[in-house]
């Protein structure tokens, strides 16, 4: 979609004399959310370790866990939901990974030293962030402003500098990981130019038992941003972002990433003066092109599989505010994913099937959202959105060749693994989502809310159209992974209660939720894990009814003006109601306890991260089995000897304990480990200098 790139560039010059909201705002008129629902943080404030990517960073937020498949590409999980059940964006751009085995969720393309802030909304608390996303919303954002006459980032002092330059370096002793980052901003009156980039590399980390699973990686990221603050205060901005990943090892998957390259283009026009019905307006366009290659021989000793893939997405959104409490808008996105499964047969590399057979999914949404002030202390918020989702697999009937009986069409695989003749065809989903929430403030530190939401999510490209085949013999059938073109959309109905209060001198906030799901999309094997060495062993999909419930609780107490203690707890419980069994990939009770000393110039902390034993699992496809509980300890410290220098240092997994989170995948390479273990002890540090 090269024409969209030119539209972005033309748009900058066309609008450069016309006016938007400050990009530091969450929205043009932000939804009325509570701290239990919403996290909006500067990345430097929550990165109390050297997080390897956007998923790793999210572990710092209570209620978010991750699935580890390797050393990079940690897959965020919010309230038992991950991947396409979470709407993720990078500077407003929606991107979808190019691996059906989920080795590259959107968060893996967020090199965190290149971004300024992160926003997380748990559950369906707003309808302004795209179709679906019942688990929540994750936004990684850069915040750039003109320098001349603007407020500097430190001490709220006016800066007259025409440029800012920041250089950073991190290191980790385990895996000899390191990242180098540079961030440069040039002020040009009310205009600005920003260029930032980073390069990261790591070897195979060592676990607490001395195993070194295949977890190495190399990544680079750079972005060029040009923008202008217009005379009326509005803002126009264009961003080009390039992320390159090479030689990423995944001990938890059959293949590794040889390379994954993505180009992302964003255009934003945020208007803060009235236009027509709107008191302010936001226009955003985005385009991403992703090329991806995975195999099992570049980083391993075998030579049998290769899969080139691509995932390209374009779209945009237009949101208008009517007054301070009413928002309406329209958004659109179109994603195309292609992948070809190749395998060595009789010493020849053959194209077996179109693994993603030209999978196209488009989403057109209309939405409105309103906050009604019932009394000075009580707000009733509600929102509704309608989505038209179109799906198609344009190459499902294409024959990849005739050199071998193993070369088959995607449609033939669907028919072989489901009842009747099943073929992919163009279909539409009409989805209805919305929420209503009542929030009451008692004072500045005390409030409570109750919300009821409905979120309808259509199946994704893998659930619908995946077509991974295998040899038709014995244990090979269980390697197959076949989507179901006839899946229905999920319907999530969630009731949530939340509160924030001071109790015995402690700041307490928490929430409890129950999510009743009709037509939940689950993956299973028809042989029910018994393996009868037929097509019944293949991984396939169906709709079931399910329930997910849980809670989150945070307690913080200031022990003195400089010392604070904090406890975070989160728990999720998932049931497959149709089959009367636990849902897979559900984290047990987990959390952390920390004690921190902080002044204006230094901070020291100790943190204990823990999880309970998980004996509720479904090991037919995703779960490895029962997982033992664990407690691991971290030490960290930060120093600012001058206003321009920030130095951090710490030790992760102080006791070098061997452990694995329940969500981590099976270790396919190391016989001494049943799953991909977490890293052992690591001494880490970072140095950031602002010129």
**Mean pLDDT of the 151-160 span:** 47
CA 663 to chain centre: 15
Is the Cα torsion angle 94, 333, 411, 522 positive or negative in sign?
positive
Least confident span in 3-12, 151-160, 225-234, 419-428: 3-12
Number of structural domains, the chain?
Answer: 1
Burial class (CB in 10 A: 0-12, 13-18, 19+), 632: buried
Domain that holds residue 117: 2-690
Q: Report how far residue 412's alpha carbon sits from residue 223's, in angstroms, rounded to the nearest whole number.
A: 43
**Mean pLDDT of the 460-476 span:** 94
Burial class (CB in 10 A: 0-12, 13-18, 19+), 436: middle
Q: Is the model's pLDDT at 151 over the cut of 80?
A: no
Q: Report how far residue 478's alpha carbon sits from residue 531's, in angstroms, rounded to the nearest whole number.
A: 8
Which tens digits make up the pLDDT trace of 555-607?
Answer: 999 999 999 999 999 999 999 999 999 999 999 999 999 999 999 999 999 99
Q: Report how far residue 580's alpha carbon sits from residue 545's, in angstroms, rounded to the nearest whole number.
A: 10
Relative to beta strand 256-271, strand 280-295 is antiparallel
Q: Is the model's pLDDT at 31 over the cut of 90?
A: no
CA 132 to chain centre: 14
Relative to beta strand 86-90, strand 136-141 is parallel
Maximum mean pLDDT: which of 51-55, 345-349, 402-406? 51-55
Q: Is the model's pLDDT at 552 over the cut of 90?
A: yes
Q: Is the model's pLDDT at 337 over the cut of 80?
A: yes
Q: What are phi and psi of 592, to 5 degrees?
A: -155, 155
Q: Is the model's pLDDT at 434 over the cut of 90?
A: yes
Stronger pLDDT, 567 or 344, i.e. the higher one: 567
Mean pLDDT of the chain: 92
Q: Is the model's pLDDT at 411 over the cut of 60?
A: yes
Percent of the chain at pLDDT exceeding 90: 86
Neighbours of 448 (CB within 10 A): 16
Maximum mean pLDDT: which of 33-47, 343-357, 536-550? 536-550
CB of 217 within 8 A of CB of 243? no
CB of 147 within 8 A of CB of 187? yes
Measure the CA angle with vertex 651, ends 641 and 594; round to 5°.
85
Question: Which residue, among 294, 295, 300, 285, has the nearest Cα to 331 in the 3D structure?
Answer: 285
Which tens digits make up the pLDDT trace of 513-549?
Answer: 999 999 999 999 999 878 899 999 999 999 999 999 9
Q: What is the pLDDT of residue 25?
A: 39
CB of 525 within 8 A of CB of 542? no
Relative to beta strand 682-690, strand 645-652 is antiparallel
Q: Is the model's pLDDT at 2 over the cut of 80?
A: no
Q: Report how far residue 352's alpha carbon sits from residue 340's, in angstroms, rounded to the nearest whole number.
A: 8
- Considering only the C-alpha atoms of the chain, give the largest distance between any 2 of them, rounded to a whole number of Å: 76
Report residue 302's pLDDT band, with 50, 70 and 90 as the boundaries: confident
**Mean pLDDT of the 296-324 span:** 94
Helix-then-strand count for the chain, H and E: 5, 33
- DSSP 3-state of 496: strand
In angstroms, the Cα distances linking 399 to 40, 403, 471, 638 are: 49, 11, 17, 59
In angstroms, the Cα distances linking 591 to 64, 67, 261 are: 10, 16, 35
Measured between its terminal Cα atoms, the distance across the chain in Å is 39
Report residue 152's pLDDT band, with 50, 70 and 90 as the boundaries: very low
Relative to beta strand 93-94, strand 117-122 is unpaired
Q: What is the pLDDT of residue 4?
A: 40
Q: What is the pLDDT of residue 347?
A: 84
**Mean pLDDT of the 46-70 span:** 93
CB of 361 within 8 A of CB of 474? no
Burial class (CB in 10 A: 0-12, 13-18, 19+), 439: buried
CB of 357 within 8 A of CB of 114? no
Stronger pLDDT, 5 or 199, i.e. the higher one: 199
Report residue 468's pLDDT band, with 50, 70 and 90 as the boundaries: very high
**Mean pLDDT of the 313-331 span:** 96
CB of 583 within 8 A of CB of 576? yes
Q: Report how far residue 208's alpha carbon sits from residue 682's, in angstroms, rounded to the nearest whole number.
A: 10
In angstroms, the Cα distances linking 69 to 145, 469, 657, 658, 678 are: 38, 22, 19, 16, 10
Relative to beta strand 136-141, strand 117-122 is antiparallel
CB of 282 within 8 A of CB of 22? no
Query: Looking at residue 663, which CATH number applies to its domain?
Result: 2.40.170.20
- Model-level pTM? 0.92
Q: Report how far residue 359's alpha carbon sits from residue 495's, in angstroms, rounded to the nearest whole number.
A: 34
User: Which residue in this structure is represented by tokens 């072989």?
Assistant: 416
Q: Report how far residue 226's alpha carbon sits from residue 8's, in angstroms, rounded to the nearest whole number.
A: 12
Which tens digits make up the pLDDT trace of 258-290?
Answer: 999 999 999 999 999 999 999 999 999 999 999
Q: What is the pLDDT of residue 21?
A: 32
Question: Which residue, among 515, 509, 465, has the nearest Cα to 490 in the 3D structure?
Answer: 515
Q: What is the pLDDT of residue 29?
A: 52
**Mean pLDDT of the 408-420 span:** 97
Q: What is the pLDDT of residue 157?
A: 45
């Amino acid at each position: 979609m090269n024409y969209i790139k030119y539209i972005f560039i033309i748009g900058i010059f066309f609008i450069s004399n016309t006016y938007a909201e400050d990009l530091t705002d969450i929205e043009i008129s932000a939804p009325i959310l509570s701290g239990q629902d919403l996290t909006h943080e500067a990345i430097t404030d929550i990165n109390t370790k050297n997080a390897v990517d956007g998923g790793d960073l999210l572990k710092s937020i209570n209620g978010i866990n991750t699935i580890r498949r390797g050393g990079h590409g940690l897959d965020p999980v919010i309230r038992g939901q991950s991947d396409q059940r979470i709407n993720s964006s990078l500077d407003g751009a929606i991107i979808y990974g190019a691996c059906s085995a989920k080795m590259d969720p959107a968060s893996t393309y967020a090199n965190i030293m290149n971004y300024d802030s992160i926003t997380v909304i748990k559950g369906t608390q707003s309808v302004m962030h795209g179709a679906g996303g019942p688990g929540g919303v994750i936004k990684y954002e850069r915040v750039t402003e003109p320098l001349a006459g603007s407020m500097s980032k430190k001490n709220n002092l006016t800066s007259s500098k025409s440029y800012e330059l920041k250089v950073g370096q991190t290191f980790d002793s385990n895996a000899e990981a390191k990242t180098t980052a540079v961030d440069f901003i040039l002020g040009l009156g009310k205009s600005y130019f920003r260029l930032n980039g980073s390069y990261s590399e790591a070897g195979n980390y060592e676990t607490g038992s001395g195993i070194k699973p295949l977890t190495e990686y190399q990544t680079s990221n750079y972005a060029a941003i040009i923008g202008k603050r217009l005379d009326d205060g509005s803002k126009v901005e264009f961003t080009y972002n390039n992320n390159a990943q090479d030689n990423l090892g995944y001990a938890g998957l059959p293949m590794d990433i040889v390379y994954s390259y993505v180009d992302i283009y964003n255009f934003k026009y945020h208007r803060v003066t009235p236009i027509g019905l709107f008191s302010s307006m936001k226009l955003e366009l985005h385009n991403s092109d992703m090329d991806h290659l995975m195999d099992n021989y570049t980083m391993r000793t075998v030579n049998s599989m290769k899969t080139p893939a691509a995932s390209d997405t374009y779209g945009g959104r237009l949101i208008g505010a009517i007054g301070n409490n009413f928002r309406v808008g329209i958004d659109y996105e179109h994603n195309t994913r292609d992948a070809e499964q190749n395998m060595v047969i009789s010493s020849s590399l053959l194209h077996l099937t179109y693994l993603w057979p030209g999978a196209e999914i488009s989403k057109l949404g209309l939405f409105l959202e309103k906050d009604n002030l019932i009394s000075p202390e009580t707000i009733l918020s509600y929102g509704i959105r309608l989505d038209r989702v179109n799906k198609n697999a344009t190459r499902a009937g294409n024959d990849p060749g005739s050199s071998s009986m193993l070369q088959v069409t995607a449609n033939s695989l669907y028919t072989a693994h489901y009842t009747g003749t099943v073929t992919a065809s163009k279909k539409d989903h009409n989805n209805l989502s919305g929420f209503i929430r009542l929030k009451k403030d008692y004072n500045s530190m005390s409030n409570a809310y109750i919300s009821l939401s409905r979120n309808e999510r259509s199946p994704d490209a893998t659930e619908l159209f995946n077509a991974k085949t295998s040899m038709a013999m014995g244990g090979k059938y269980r390697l197959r992974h076949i989507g179901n073109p006839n899946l229905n959309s999920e319907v999530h109905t969630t009731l949530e209660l939340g509160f924030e209060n001071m109790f015995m001198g402690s700041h307490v906030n928490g929430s409890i939720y129950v999510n009743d799901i009709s037509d939940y999309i689950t993956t299973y094997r028809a042989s029910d894990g018994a393996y009868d060495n037929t097509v019944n062993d293949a991984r396939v999909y169906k709709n079931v009814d399910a329930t997910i419930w849980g809670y989150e609780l945070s307690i913080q107490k200031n022990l003195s003006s400089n010392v604070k203690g904090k406890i975070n707890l989160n728990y999720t419980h998932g049931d497959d109601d149709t089959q009367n069994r636990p849902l897979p990939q559900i984290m047990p009770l987990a959390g952390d306890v920390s004690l921190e000393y902080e002044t204006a110039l230094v901070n020291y902390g100790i943190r204990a991260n823990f999880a309970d034993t998980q004996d509720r699992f479904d090991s037919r496809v995703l779960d490895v089995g029962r997982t033992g509980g664990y407690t691991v300890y971290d030490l960290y410290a930060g120093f600012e000897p001058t206003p321009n220098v920030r130095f951090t240092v710490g030790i992760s997994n102080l006791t070098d304990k061997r452990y694995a989170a329940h969500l981590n995948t099976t270790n396919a390479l190391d016989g001494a480990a049943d799953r991909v273990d977490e890293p052992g002890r690591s001494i880490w540090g970072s140095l950031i200098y602002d010129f």
